[in-house]
Structure 1
Amino acid sequence: MPYPDFNPVLLKMGPLKVRWYGLMYVVAFFVAYFLLKAEVRKKAFPLDKDGVYDLLSYAALGVILGGRLGYVLVYNLSYYLSHPLDILAVWKGGMSFHGGFLGVIVAGWLFCRRRHLPFLRLADLAVLPVPIGLFMGRMGNFINGELFGRATDVPWCMEFPMGGPICRHPSQLYEASMEGILLFSILFFLSRKTLPEGVLFGTFIGLYGLFRTIGELFRQPDPQLGFLFGPVTMGQVLSVPMILIGAAIVFTRFRVSRSPVENGHLPPSSR
Structure 2
Amino acid sequence: MINWNVDPNIFTIFGKEIRWYGVLFAIGLVIFGPMIEERIWKKEHLPEKWIQKMAIYVFLCTVIGARLGHVLFYDPAYYFANPIKILAIHEGGLASHGGALGLLFGMWLYSRNVTHKGWLWGLDRLAVPVGLVAAMIRMGNLMNSEIFGRATTMPWGFRFLRSNEYWKFIVGQSSDVSQLIAKNGGISEMQKMHPDIYNQVINTLPAAHPTQIYEAIIYLVIFGLCMWLYFKRNITAKYNGMIVGIFLIGVFGSRFFVEMLKLVQEPWEIDLVNKIGLNMGQVLSIPLVILGIYFVYNAVTKAKEQLIK
TM over 0.5, yes or no? yes
Alignment of 1:166-181 (within 5 A): 166-178=206-218, 180-181=219-220
Partner in structure 2 of residue 117 of structure 1: 117
Code of the residue aligned with 2:220 in structure 1: it is: I
Residue 140 (structure 1) aligned with residue 140 (structure 2): yes
Alignment of 1:162-241 (within 5 A): 162=163, 163-164=166-167, 165=171, 166-178=206-218, 180-191=219-230, 192-193=232-233, 194=235, 195-227=238-270, 228-230=272-274, 231-241=277-287
Cα pair 1:63 1:100 within 8 Å, conserved: yes
Measure how far apart 1:41 and its partner are.
1.6
> Residue 260 of structure 2: SS of its match in structure 1?
coil
Alignment deviations for residues 155-193 of structure 1 (CA, whole Å, 9 cap, x no partner): 221221211134211111111111x21111221222222
More helix by share: 2
Identity of aligned residues (%): 29
Cα pair 1:21 1:141 within 8 Å, conserved: yes
Partner in structure 2 of residue 78 of structure 1: 77
So what's the TM-score if we normalise by structure 1? Answer: 0.90
Cα pair 1:21 1:144 within 8 Å, conserved: yes
Looking at structure 2, the residues matched to 66 and 59 of structure 1 have their Cα atoms a distance apart, in angstroms, of 10
Partner in structure 1 of residue 183 of structure 2: none
Residue 246 (structure 1) aligned with residue 246 (structure 2): no
Alignment deviations for residues 129-161 of structure 1 (CA, whole Å, 9 cap, x no partner): 111111111101101111111112222212212
Looking at structure 2, the residues matched to 219 and 88 of structure 1 have their Cα atoms a distance apart, in angstroms, of 27
Cα pair 1:70 1:99 within 8 Å, conserved: yes
Measure how far apart 1:4 and its partner are.
3.2
Partner in structure 1 of residue 199 of structure 2: none
Code of the residue aligned with 1:60 in structure 2: it is: F
Cα pair 2:211 2:261 within 8 Å, conserved: yes
Alignment deviations for residues 54-96 of structure 1 (CA, whole Å, 9 cap, x no partner): 2111111101211111111111111112222211211111111
Figure out how many residues of one structure are paired with residues of the other and give that number.
260
Cα pair 1:209 1:241 within 8 Å, conserved: no
So what's the TM-score if we normalise by structure 2? Answer: 0.79
Partner in structure 2 of residue 5 of structure 1: 5
Structure 2: any 5+ residue segments left out of the alignment?
Answer: 172-205
Measure how far apart 1:225 and its partner are.
2.9
Measure how far apart 1:263 and its partner are.
5.0
Looking at structure 2, the residues matched to 47 and 118 of structure 1 have their Cα atoms a distance apart, in angstroms, of 16
Cα pair 2:4 2:158 within 8 Å, conserved: no
Measure how far apart 1:117 and its partner are.
3.0
Code of the residue aligned with 2:223 in structure 1: it is: F
Code of the residue aligned with 1:114 in structure 2: it is: N
**More RCO (CA 8 Å, sep 6+):** 2
Looking at structure 2, the residues matched to 229 and 79 of structure 1 have their Cα atoms a distance apart, in angstroms, of 21
- Structure 1 residues 243 and 14: CA distance shift in structure 2, 3 A: closer
Cα pair 1:40 1:125 within 8 Å, conserved: no
Looking at structure 2, the residues matched to 122 and 264 of structure 1 have their Cα atoms a distance apart, in angstroms, of 26
Alignment of 1:1-150 (within 5 A): 1-28=1-28, 29-44=30-45, 46-48=46-48, 50-115=49-114, 116-150=116-150
